[in-house]
């Protein structure tokens, strides 16, 4: 899976989040593949940075593997990169969508997962998946959809 993707020149997708090392979209294109995310790096942050509504700037995240970033960082990056990331309202005034894609995480949590689709008009739709009663992660059933 790629570390990041730019959809329709408007929606920036990352496994994790924003990095203090990120200065341009070109940096994302120049990441050598395959790569390993080790130590403090752009790659590590793309995987493990977290949005945090109560944070200003960057702070170490709770995992100790990257940063938590505040809405101010998101606003600055969107302005700097000239990206309008309209999405489902989770964080940063509809500019950041957090999608957790592992239902019944580690076999220990009673969480759902989500998938987001983006059509040719950049309209986002979400499908929520919940683990079955037996908690087998391979038996996931769709339960609802919504459109942003």
pLDDT above 80: residue 92? no
Q: How far is CA 29 from CA 33, 85, 104, 113, 118, in A?
A: 10, 19, 33, 28, 21
In a domain, 96, yes or no: no
With CA atoms as reference, report the closest residue to 16 among 45, 56, 59: 45
76 and 11 together in one domain: yes
Q: How far is CA 6 from CA 28, 38, 43, 83, 133, in A?
A: 9, 23, 16, 10, 37
Of 2-16, 58-72, 79-93, 125-139, where does mean pLDDT reach its minimum? 79-93
Residue 94 lies in a domain: no
Name the residue range of residue 115's domain: 105-147
- Higher pLDDT: 138 or 119? It is 119
pLDDT at residue 112 above 90? no
In a domain? residue 90: no
| Confidence at residue 42, expressed as pLDDT on a 0 to 100 scale | 93
Q: What's the rounded Cα separation, in Å, for the pair 139 and 133?
A: 9
Res 137: pLDDT: 47
In a domain, 97, yes or no: no
User: Do the domain assignments include residue 125?
Assistant: yes
Question: Does residue 130 lie in a domain region?
Answer: yes
Q: Same domain for 61 and 109?
A: no
The predicted pLDDT at position 87 comes to 27
Number of domains in the chain: 2
């Amino acid at each position: 899976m790629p570390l990041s993707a730019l959809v329709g020149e408007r929606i920036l997708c990352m496994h994790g989040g924003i990095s203090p090392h990120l200065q341009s979209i070109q940096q994302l294109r120049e990441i050598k593949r395959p790569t390993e995310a080790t130590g403090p790096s752009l790659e590590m942050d793309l995987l493990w940075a977290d949005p945090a509504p109560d944070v200003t700037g960057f702070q170490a995240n709770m995992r100790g593997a990257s940063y938590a970033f505040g809405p101010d960082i998101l606003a600055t990056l969107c302005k700097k990169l000239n990206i309008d990331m309209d999405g489902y309202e989770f964080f940063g005034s509809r500019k950041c969508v957090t999608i957790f894609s592992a239902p019944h995480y580690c076999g220990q949590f009673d969480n759902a997962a989500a998938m987001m689709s983006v059509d040719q008009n950049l309209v986002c739709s979400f499908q929520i998946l919940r683990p079955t009663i037996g908690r087998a992660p391979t038996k996931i059933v769709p339960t609802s959809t919504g459109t942003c």
